[in-house]
Amino acid sequence: MSTTPERLIASTQELLWERGYVGTSPKAIQQRAGAGQGSMYHHFSGKPDLARAAIRRTAEQRMALAEEQFSAPGTAVERISAYLRREREVLRGCPVGRLTQDPEIVADPVLREPVAETFAFLRGRLAAVLTEGQGLGELDPALDAASTAATVVAVLQGGYVLARAADSAEPFHQATEGVIALLTARELH
Q: How many whole angstroms separate alpha carbon 186 and alpha carbon 139?
A: 6
The pair phi, psi for residue 138, each rounded to 5°, is -85, -30
pLDDT at residue 1 is higher than 60 = no
**Sign of the alpha-carbon dihedral angle for 17, 40, 116, 127:** negative
Mean pLDDT of the chain: 95
Least confidently predicted of 32-41, 60-69, 179-188: 32-41
pLDDT greater than 90 at residue 185: yes
Evaluate whether 76 touches 132 at the Cβ level (below 8 Å).
yes
Contacts of 178 (CB under 8 A, 6+ apart): 155
User: For residue 36, what pLDDT is reported?
Assistant: 87
4-19 and 47-70 helices cross at what angle (nearest 10)? 80
Contact indicator for 182, 103 with CB cutoff of 8 Å: no
DSSP letter assigned to residue 138 = S
Q: Which domains does the chain have, with CATH numbers?
A: 56-185 (1.10.357.10)
Under 8 Å between Cβ of 83 and 70: yes
What amino acid occupies position 47?
Answer: K
Per-residue model confidence as pLDDT tens digits over 30-42: 999 999 888 888 9
Are the beta carbons of 12 and 43 closer than 8 angstroms? Answer: no
Q: What is the pTM of this model?
A: 0.92
pLDDT digits (tens, 9 = 90+) for 135-173: 999 999 999 999 999 999 999 999 999 999 999 999 999
Share of the chain above pLDDT 70, in %: 99
Closest CA to 176 of 186, 162, 166: 162
